[in-house]
């Protein structure tokens, strides 16, 4: 079992807000905590999670206090480390080019998993609920896991 895991914002939101596959996301998070894995994320991941919560609030899917409470709950998640350096940025750019991804956001999560493995020698799974991303990778990244 690796000491590291990368969770897409889609997974984190499912932990916070009841949606399809929320129970699976919560079980994954419980496993992460039980195994004392460090959650490694790109530097903007907190803003992605917050943006989804804000959108849900603005669409009246969440009450004001509920959105505030969920944001606070996210901020208290144990063992999160945000990575940001030139190697990560360059790797994300290369991944986005290789897979012809429209943005660097998804590529940055993939880059985090790859950079962690190179630096530590330990595998770093990247979990997502984004089937579109999975399909665009065409099975070429074995460390990518789909929550389903």
Contact 56, 16 (CB under 8 A): no
Q: For residue range 83-121, what is the model confidence (pLDDT) as tens digits? A: 999 999 999 999 999 999 999 999 999 999 999 999 999
Cβ–Cβ contacts within 10 Å for residue 90, how many?
Answer: 12
pTM of structure: 0.94
C-alpha span between 11 and 146 (Å, rounded) = 10
3-state secondary structure 64-77: HHHHHHHHHHHHCC
The CATH homologous superfamily to which domain 4-146 belongs is: 5'-nuclease (3.40.50.1010)
């Amino acid at each position: 079992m690796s000491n590291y895991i990368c969770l897409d914002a889609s997974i984190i939101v499912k932990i916070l807000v009841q949606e399809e596959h929320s129970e699976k996301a919560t079980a994954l998070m419980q496993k992460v905590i039980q195994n004392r894995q460090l959650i490694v994320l790109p530097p903007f991941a907190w803003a992605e999670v917050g943006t989804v919560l804000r959108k849900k609030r603005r669409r009246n899917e969440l009450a004001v206090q509920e959105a505030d409470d969920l944001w606070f709950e996210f901020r208290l998640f144990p063992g999160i480390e945000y990575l940001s350096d030139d190697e990560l940025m360059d790797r994300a750019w290369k991944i986005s080019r290789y897979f012809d991804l429209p943005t660097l956001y998804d590529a940055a999560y993939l880059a985090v998993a790859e950079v962690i493995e190179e630096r530590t020698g330990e595998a770093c799974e990247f979990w997502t609920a984004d089937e579109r991303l999975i399909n665009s990778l065409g099975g070429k990244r074995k460390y990518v896991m789909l929550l389903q």
